[in-house]
């Protein structure tokens, strides 16, 4: 949604539409019941099962949220990044342990970025993702930013089942810190042949594919080391498409990750404010003390700025705006820092109880801190932002 005037370019409207508000309300109602922190915390005590698979099935098969970015011709909803941003806000708010970012955003965007060149090869796979009968991920380090060089950890040699253009490839290499690699049915893998960038699609059920869980700061978002040893793959994109497709995918991921960070920060803030209202000290609510009120007011002001920044990035992504790379860099840098600060201040405002395992404050801190270095650090995004805005180093 945009607004225009004869003298000015389109300006995205940052107020949610009725459809977006309805989506948020329905999802929040579901997650309040199915993904309350009291349900999330026990999963960290049993790290073998960090994902909430029944909830993921509900989100994908019943609500169709995995197909928001997938066009209707592939069985998806044909929605935009604005709707996906709403979903990520709510998932971030409830720290929901599902692979939405990995599958419905990163992998899906990467596959669609190879269309229409690879459309015949990806139609069935996109339909499976939209229907919730499959999960995918982008086989890159979770810390890879849009401005990074094309990854060369995986090498390809001709062979295997034919893909686009009747050619197949076998992939060999190790990729650390991959999101949801241990739950993915499909992998979108960047690889190189003689130094030239390519993208391929790998099925995890085949031989030569293994994922081993890594220790991660945020237990609700597992990372895995992915090992490929002659794994059969279908070529999705060659040198003329692959690098630009991956850059667009990582830019989209960074922009929408900001919405998830916003949801995490908002919930951390609301939890702290509720504590200040109800906890009494010296016969009065903690929130009545001026110093704590000032802290809360500063956080509220930061969140207002973060909300506008994240929504602008999502709107630019939805409109395919010329400002999208700049808006994504701004959101990734600015919102990530605010999310970390808000989560840390929430923990401090809770006092001693905030430092206990049984309280959710540490969950918000871990999610905010781990997300702040995903898809590029704030420093990298600020450097990119300076270049986009023509600010000299």
Block means of pLDDT (10 residues each) for the chain, length 393 residues?
A: 52 83 95 93 80 95 95 93 97 96 97 80 91 95 95 89 63 96 95 94 92 91 95 92 96 97 95 80 67 82 95 94 93 95 89 83 94 94 89 77
pLDDT of residue 117: 66
Residues 316, 20, 261, 366: is their CA dihedral positive or negative? negative
pLDDT of residue 328: 96
CA distance 74 to 124: 8
Nearest to 75 by CA among 24, 115, 18, 133: 133
Question: What's 17's DSSP letter?
Answer: P
- Residue 24's contacts (CB-CB under 8 Å, 6 or more residues apart) are 16, 86, 89, 90
42 burial type by CB count under 10 A (0-12 exposed, 13-18 middle, 19+ buried): exposed
Token look-up 């295997």 returns 160
User: Model-level pTM?
Assistant: 0.92
Report the DSSP pairing between strands 8-12 and 2-5: antiparallel
373 burial type by CB count under 10 A (0-12 exposed, 13-18 middle, 19+ buried): middle
pLDDT of residue 178: 97
CA distance 318 to 310: 12
Q: Evaluate whether 185 touches 204 at the Cβ level (below 8 Å).
A: yes
pLDDT of residue 161: 57
């Amino acid at each position: 949604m945009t607004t225009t005037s004869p003298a000015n370019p389109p300006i995205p409207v940052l107020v949610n539409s009725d459809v977006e508000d309805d989506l948020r309300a329905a999802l929040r109602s579901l997650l309040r019941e199915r993904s309350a922190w009291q349900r999330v915390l026990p999963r960290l005590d049993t790290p073998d099962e960090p994902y909430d698979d029944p909830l993921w099935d509900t989100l994908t098969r019943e609500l169709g949220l995995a197909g928001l970015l997938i066009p209707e011709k592939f069985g998806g909803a044909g929605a935009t990044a604005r709707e996906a941003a709403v979903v990520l806000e709510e998932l971030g708010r409830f720290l929901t342990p599902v692979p939405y970012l990995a599958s419905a955003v990163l992998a899906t965007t990467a596959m669609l970025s190879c269309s229409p060149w690879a459309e015949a090869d990806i139609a069935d796979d996109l339909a499976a993702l939209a229907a919730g009968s499959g999960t995918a991920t982008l086989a890159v380090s979770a810390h890879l930013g849009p401005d990074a060089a094309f990854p060369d950890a995986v090498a390809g040699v001709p062979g295997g089942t034919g893909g686009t253009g009747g050619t197949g490839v076998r992939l060999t290499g190790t990729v650390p810190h991959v999101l949801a690699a241990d739950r993915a049915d499909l992998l979108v893998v960047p690889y190189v042949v003689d130094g030239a960038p390519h993208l391929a699609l790998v099925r995890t059920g085949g031989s030569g594919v293994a994922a081993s869980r890594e220790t991660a700061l945020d237990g609700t978002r597992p990372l895995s080391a992915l090992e490929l040893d002659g794994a059969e793959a279908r070529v999705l994109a060659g040198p003329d498409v692959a690098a630009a497709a991956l850059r667009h995918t990582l830019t989209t991921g960074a922009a929408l990750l900001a919405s998830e960070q916003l949801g995490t920060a908002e919930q951390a803030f609301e939890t702290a404010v509720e504590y200040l209202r109800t906890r009494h000290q010296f016969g009065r609510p903690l929130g009545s003390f001026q110093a704590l009120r000032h802290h809360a007011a500063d956080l509220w002001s930061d969140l207002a700025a973060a909300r506008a920044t994240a929504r602008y990035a999502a709107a630019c992504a939805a409109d395919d705006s010329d400002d999208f790379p700049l808006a994504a860099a701004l959101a990734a840098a600015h919102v990530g820092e605010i999310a970390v600060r808000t989560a840390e201040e929430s923990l401090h405002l809770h006092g001693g109880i905030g430092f206990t395992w049984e309280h959710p404050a540490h969950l918000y801190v871990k999610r905010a801190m781990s997300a702040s270095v995903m898809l590029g650090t704030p420093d990298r995004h600020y450097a990119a932002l300076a270049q986009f805005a023509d600010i000299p180093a």
